Structure 1
Amino acid sequence: MATFSELINSDKPVLVDFSAEWCGPCKMMKPILEKVKSDLGDSATIIKVDVDKNQAAANAYKISGVPTLIVFKHGKALWRQSGVVQAEQLKSVIQQYI
């Protein structure tokens, strides 16, 4: 399995959803992320990171609230937003980096 840093060093955009089991809005992101994934296919990668299980990654990117979404490409954070983001907005953000 690839490490977090290997995943975000991809040539294609990687959307990381920092979330937690106990977080209500995080649960709302699941169908949104599934829609974005089905619309974008293999042109982008979407991964979910549980902040309680991956505190090093959460600390490295100063995640203070969940959900926090970050788009990475070549290891650089290019876009970041906390809270629920609708599918169309998320898709247009990711498409800028494809």
Structure 2
Amino acid sequence: MKKDFLSITSGNIPILIDFYADWCGPCKTLAPILKEVKKELGDSVKIIKIDVDKNQALATKFQVRGVPTMMLFKNNKQLWRQSGVLPKNDIITIVKSHQ
């Protein structure tokens, strides 16, 4: 997964990664918000969901202790990170500030 992860985050389009779990209530709240973000920003952002239960090594590597945790990457660099649910407009503002 590590090599895959590096290839996923290597582009110069912002990649928003959502570390989530199926049992997590706030994660279920965030999912439709991220769909709206994608709809509004289109191809100017990639949004990837990573299940922490199925990708524990990756969650450990990035010290994800709570879900949901969102991270923004570009050119293999982590630009931003936040745990919890954010409103759509906040997420859009963060992504646009790193384009």
Pair in the same fold by TM > 0.5 = yes
Tell me the SS of whatever aligns to 1:3: helix
Q: Which runs of 5+ in 1 are unaligned?
A: none
Gaps of 5+ in 2: none
| Paired residue total | 97
- Residues 50-80 of structure 1, C-alpha deviation per residue, up to 9 Å, x if partnerless? 0000111101100000000000011111100
Q: Which residue of 2 aligns with 1:14?
A: 15
- Percent identity among equivalent residues? 47
Supply the distance in 2 between the matched residues of 1:56 and 1:9 (Cα, whole angstroms). 19
TM-score, structure 2 length as denominator? 0.95
| Counterpart in the other structure of 2:59 | 58
- SS of the residue corresponding to residue 80 of structure 2 reads strand
Please identify runs of 4+ aligned residues in structure 1 that moved more than 4 A: none
Between the aligned partners of 1:35 and 1:80, the Cα distance in structure 2 is 19
Distance 2:58 2:43 in 1: 24
Return the offset for 1:19. 0.3
